[in-house]
Each structure stands twice: as structure tokens, then as C-alpha cells.
């Protein structure tokens, strides 16, 4: 998803955001895990994600 809520609520800066152009030429974006080593497993990203796109697990 590209709502950026995970990036906004993460206290340790795990997420980044990248923008791209879709095949139809529409500007879009998505959040990505860019600093997984910073994750402290607080769960804020999971509880706030409106699309339920995140979960906590080993290697996340």
C-alpha cells in the first residue's frame, strides 16, 4: 500500500517510501522495509495498517 501510515507510526525508521509510475502513467508509491535491523517488534505498524498488509514474524 502507499498510505505511508506504517512509515509515520514506526518509532525506529524501519520503513521507506518509493514512488514509481504505473504502466498507465499514473504516479504511485509504496512503503518498503528498508531498515529491518531497526525493528523492535513493537507492532505499531501492524495495528495501524488499514489494509492489514503487515505482520510480525521472524525476518520481518
* Residue 38 zone, left/alpha/beta (φ > 0; ψ -120 to 50; rest): alpha
Pick the most confident of 4-13, 17-26, 47-56. Answer: 4-13
What CATH number does residue 20 fall under? 3.30.70.20
Q: Please give the DSSP secondary-structure letter assigned to residue 54.
A: -
C-alpha grid cell, residue 22: 504505473
Question: What domain range includes position 38?
Answer: 5-48
Mean pLDDT of the chain: 90
Per-residue pLDDT, 28: 87
How many domains does the chain fold into? 1
* Residue 52 zone, left/alpha/beta (φ > 0; ψ -120 to 50; rest): left
> Are the C-beta atoms of 14 and 39 separated by less than 8 Å?
yes
Q: Is 22 part of any domain?
A: yes
Judge residue 45's burial from the number of C-beta atoms within 10 Å of its C-beta, 0-12 exposed, 13-18 middle, 19 or more buried: buried
Q: Is 41 part of any domain?
A: yes
Amino acid at each position: 500500500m502507499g498510505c505511508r501510515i506504517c512509515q509515520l507510526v514506526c518509532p525506529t525508521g524501519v520503513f521507506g517510501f518509493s514512488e514509481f509510475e504505473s504502466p498507465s502513467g499514473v504516479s504511485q508509491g509504496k512503503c518498503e522495509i528498508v531498515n529491518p535491523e531497526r525493528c523492535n517488534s513493537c507492532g505499531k505498524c501492524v495495528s495501524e495498517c488499514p489494509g492489514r498488509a503487515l505482520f510480525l514474524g521472524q525476518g520481518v
